[in-house]
Amino acid sequence: MRNLQPVAGQAQPVLELAGVRVSLGGRPVLQGIDLSLRPGELVGVIGPNGAGKTTLLKIILGLLRPDQGKVRIGGHDAQASRSLVGYVPQSYTPDPDLPLTARDLVALGLDGARWGFSLGGRNRRAKVDEALNWVGASSYADQPVGRLSGGELQRLLVAHALISEPRVVLLDEPLANLDLRSQDEVVALVGRVAHERGVTVLLVTHDMNPILGVMDRILYLARGQAALGTVDEVVRQDVLGQLYGHHIDVVRVHGRILVVGGPDVEALTCTTCDA
Amino acid sequence: MAAFIASLLTLGATRTALVIGSLVAATSGAVGVFVVLRGQSFSGHALGDIGTTGAAAAYLGGISPLYGFIGVGVLGGLGIETLGERARERDVATGIVLSLMLGIGALLLYFMTQRPNPGSGPVAILFGSIFTVDPGVTGPVALFSVLVLLLLAVLYRPLVFTTVNPQVARAAGVPTTAVSLLFMLAIAVAVEESALVAGALLSTALLIGPASAAVRWTRHVGEAVALSVLLGLLAVVLGVALAYQSYAWPPLDRGWPVSFFIVMIVLLEYLLSRIGRRTRQEPATRQVP
């Protein structure tokens, strides 16, 4: 496991949430969320279904306004700084007939929000090529996206999110539906996004184990509340027990961490812990 | 052959038919690619049917059915889009707007048939009237086509983005609701124009047919739009030529309806694209979430 000290020790925080509270349809989804993330930090966002993971992403993306509290990205209000946040959505499965190549998809990340046609240009093409190359997708740059494997598609979505040079990248369950080898490749890639490019990464996942090796800190969400810290600080019986509001066992076997009564095995043991 | 083409172009009715048909085919072909990719075929078809109510009203009121088609089509499109934002809601919203408008349309068409001299009005509205269309609407049709194509050009990148990956488009600041609404207007005008040519019941063919073939044969959205326009033009021009030829055919010796030929050619294009697809590499196996 890597050293869990934050990478860029004294740098200004790039993403800050202070006292954030959100209710959807009168039901509190997140409350009292305080976060301060530095450049180049990779944070795993873990929590059971309904814990508020997706809501947290929407707030950072500026798609949802919190009822209370502040969300600041690079010192600006989240609503006004959308170009600073890249986003890889959950379970993106394009139609096999979609007439769109890998290159086209990545280019949309660069200027897809602008009106009219793209006039192309050498600069634009060079940027797209650079992004494809950086994620290792050059070999299928001209393939239709609907015919790529899950792992190939995830790399592409990372390039798509990175090409506008955001300060923060959010990935929603990027490891779901991937085989183990593709999972490892995507995890390594996401690690490079944070530690080589200095982009702050929030990676939402059900299972923390595949990302233990690259994760700097963990944000554990349960019942609308969050605990942020290193794995050793957060994934403990007392911290999680308080978060869930009932007894939790943390078991370490062969370098894997199992939270019993938590999300990993909730189908077996947990019938009431979902908030 | 040369004499045939010359006579096709010199005859006023066929010349008008070719000009209006080409405008409509190009517009429907371009808009159709996005309709196919966004899964809005049902809305597109419903708008053609909804337009009949407006066309019948316009006919009874003594103005060109074109304005009835477009006026009611645009209102119907706005209704569908505002009632149902999500895909599933949109289907239901489309069905509700469609039933309402068809009910009124049935009444108006009934009035048309009960008039002392009904003529071919009802048939023209339902099945198209490209040979009997008033040459005076050529200007308005051209104007509407240009407006739709301009709108599509302005919307192009955000529309592609919203179509391809709506969640990320929204996150990137694309006003996806506004883009969808404006595109619905483009569908409405394209469909209603084509209802004038191929008839309300068959306008879907020009909207969906060339586009779904083009999507299978190309690798970029821009290429698909260009090919779809060409396939649409091919269907209309060939359809008009065959309809002109069919004046010498049994059983009536009065010509077969041009809509029949257009739809058959469109169907052929679509079937060819299905066959062509077989030879392409099958998609890699993917896991379904």
Domain ranges within chain B, ordered by starting residue = 2-273
Residue-wise pLDDT for B193-220, tens only, equals 888 877 777 788 999 999 999 999 999 9
Q: CA-based angle A181:A187:A191, to the nearest 5? A: 145
Token pair of B136 as six digits: 């005076």
Residue-wise pLDDT for A93-115, tens only, equals 899 889 999 999 999 999 988 99
By CA distance, what is A58's nearest residue in B? B171
Contacts of B156 in chain A (CB under 8 A): 115-117
Listed range (A14-18, A128-132, A258-262) with the worst mean pLDDT: A258-262
Flag whether pLDDT at A142 surpasses 90. Answer: yes
Residue A2's pLDDT is 41
Residue B56's pLDDT is 87
Average pLDDT along chain B:
85
Residue B62 CB: number of other CB atoms within 10 A? 6
Domain ranges, ordered by start, for chain A? 15-269
A208: closest CA among A44, A43, A41? A44
What integer is the mean pLDDT of A49-70?
A: 89
Pick A113's closest partner by Cβ from B161, B221, B287.
B161
Residue A247's pLDDT is 83
A40: closest CA among A129, A169, A228? A169
Contact B157, B165 (CB under 8 A): no
C-alpha A183: how far from chain center: 14
Residue B277's pLDDT is 57
Q: Percent of chain A, pLDDT > 90?
A: 50
Write out the DSSP string of B220-240. SHHHHHHHHHHHHHHHHHHHH
B150: closest CA among B27, B51, B271? B27
- CA distances to A168, B196, B217 from A82, rounded to whole Å, are 10, 44, 36
Contacts of B169 in chain A (CB under 8 A): 112-113
Residue B285's pLDDT is 45
Query: At which residue do the structure tokens 């494997």 appear?
Result: A149
Question: Chain B within 8 Å of A232 (Cβ-Cβ)?
Answer: no
Distance from CA of B21 to the nearest CA of A (A): 27
Flag whether pLDDT at B279 surpasses 70. Answer: no
Residue A105's pLDDT is 95
Residue predicted with more confidence, A175 or B250: A175
Asked if B157's CB is within 8 angstroms of A115's CB, the reply is: yes
By CA distance, what is B168's nearest residue in A? A87
Work out the pLDDT band at A162, boundaries 50, 70, 90. Answer: very high
Contacts of B174 in chain A (CB under 8 A): 112-113
Q: How many CB pairs under 8 A join A and B?
A: 109
Residue A6's pLDDT is 46
Residue-wise pLDDT for A215-252, tens only, equals 999 998 888 888 899 988 888 888 888 888 788 888 88
Average pLDDT along chain A:
85
Work out the pLDDT band at A206, boundaries 50, 70, 90. Answer: confident
C-alpha A150: how far from chain center: 17
Residue A65 CB: number of other CB atoms within 10 A? 12
pTM (two decimals): 0.87
Pick B171's closest partner by Cβ from A61, A115, A118.
A61
Flag whether pLDDT at B25 surpasses 90. Answer: yes
Flag whether pLDDT at B62 surpasses 50. Answer: yes
Record: fold of A15-269? Rossmann fold (3.40.50)
What integer is the mean pLDDT of B111-126?
A: 74
Residue A159's pLDDT is 94
By CA distance, what is A94's nearest residue in B? B164
What integer is the mean pLDDT of B158-185?
A: 93
Pick B174's closest partner by Cβ from A92, A100, A113.
A113
Q: What is the ipTM of this complex?
A: 0.86
**Alpha-carbon distance B232 to B238, whole Å?**
10
B16: closest CA among B253, B252, B280, B258? B258
Work out the pLDDT band at B87, boundaries 50, 70, 90. Answer: low
Contact B213, B57 (CB under 8 A): no
Q: CA-based angle B128:B130:B134, to the nearest 5? A: 115
Contact B219, B253 (CB under 8 A): no
Q: Of B154, B231, B282, B286, which to mutate for an interface test with A (greatest number of A Cβ within 10 Å)?
A: B286
Residue A145's pLDDT is 95
Residue A135 CB: number of other CB atoms within 10 A? 23
Flag whether pLDDT at A26 surpasses 90. Answer: no
Asked if A89's CB is within 8 angstroms of B168's CB, the reply is: yes
Residue A226's pLDDT is 86
Pick B153's closest partner by Cβ from A63, A116, A148.
A116
Contacts of A160 in chain B (CB under 8 A): 168
**CB neighbour list of residue A43: distance below 8 Å, 6 or more residues apart:** A37, A200, A201, A202, A203, A215, A216, A217, A218, A219, A228
Flag whether pLDDT at A253 surpasses 90. Answer: no
Token pair of A51 as six digits: 């814990």
Residue A134 CB: number of other CB atoms within 10 A? 19
Q: Which CATH superfamily is domain B2-273 in?
A: ABC transporter involved in vitamin B12 uptake, BtuC (1.10.3470.10)
Residue B186's pLDDT is 95
**Alpha-carbon distance B253 to B268, whole Å?**
25
B45: closest CA among B54, B55, B32? B32
Asked if B172's CB is within 8 angstroms of A87's CB, the reply is: yes
Asked if A85's CB is within 8 angstroms of B287's CB, the reply is: no
**CB neighbour list of residue A164: distance below 8 Å, 6 or more residues apart:** A83, A86, A109, A110, B172
For chain B, the residues whose C-beta falls within 8 A of a C-beta of chain A are 37, 153-158, 160-161, 164-165, 167-174, 214-216, 218-221, 223-224, 281, 283-284, 286-289
Work out the pLDDT band at B118, boundaries 50, 70, 90. Answer: low
Question: Chain B within 8 Å of A85 (Cβ-Cβ)?
Answer: yes
Residue predicted with more confidence, A272 or B138: B138
Question: Chain B within 8 Å of A108 (Cβ-Cβ)?
Answer: yes
Residue A143 CB: number of other CB atoms within 10 A? 18
By CA distance, what is B171's nearest residue in A? A61
Work out the pLDDT band at B5, boundaries 50, 70, 90. Answer: low
Flag whether pLDDT at B278 surpasses 90. Answer: no
Q: What is the CA radius of gyration of chain A?
A: 19
Is omega for the bond preceding B140 within 30 degrees of 0, making it cis?
Answer: no
What integer is the mean pLDDT of B72-78?
A: 90
B220: closest CA among B269, B160, B273? B160
Residue B120's pLDDT is 67
**Alpha-carbon distance B198 to B209, whole Å?**
13
